[in-house]
Amino acid sequence: MKPKDNIVYLKKGDQVHKVDARKPRFHLSPVLVFTVIIMFVGALGSAAAAALMANTRQELAFERQRLNAQLDANRILAGQIIHPFTLEEIEREAQERLGMARPDPSQIIYINVPPVSHVVFNPEADILPRDSTFWEEMRAFLQGLINRIFGG
């Protein structure tokens, strides 16, 4: 073999293979490059979606915490109300604590109201929505993503 020659002869058993040493062994094909780019974009999108989902979960937990605190405050206030106020009690409270004066008869507007409804305040009622399933959250996430992408 000459020193300037880039042809290498490989012998394997009875066969001799002629190999050009100038050709690289690994060739980047456009399909391979495209596949790697698509995988990178997919991984980047997946990471962004996971970050968005984590942020949304954190906001949801904060809002549930705030709602639970408000429900607790409402239950405490409901427990303090043993009986409904009478009109005389409301008038006395308005005059003594708030410094309000009794209105003139020309300022009073009377309205007819139906009899007492059968709606009862229940401080123990659970008003939180049920926890959503993974698939419901995923569907909502994908709808939001599509709406952001296509502006719908």
Per-position b or e across 18-35, b if 16+ CB within 10 A of its CB: eeeeeeeeeeeeeeeeee
Higher per-residue confidence, 139 vs 13: 139
pLDDT at 141 over 50: yes
Tokens of 89: 């009690």
The two counts, helices (H) then strands (E), for the chain are: 3, 2
Write the pLDDT tens digit of every residue in 29-67: 888 899 999 999 999 999 889 888 988 999 999 999 999
| pLDDT tens per residue across span 89-137 | 888 888 999 999 888 888 888 888 777 666 565 655 655 556 677 788 8
Global pTM exceeds 0.95: no
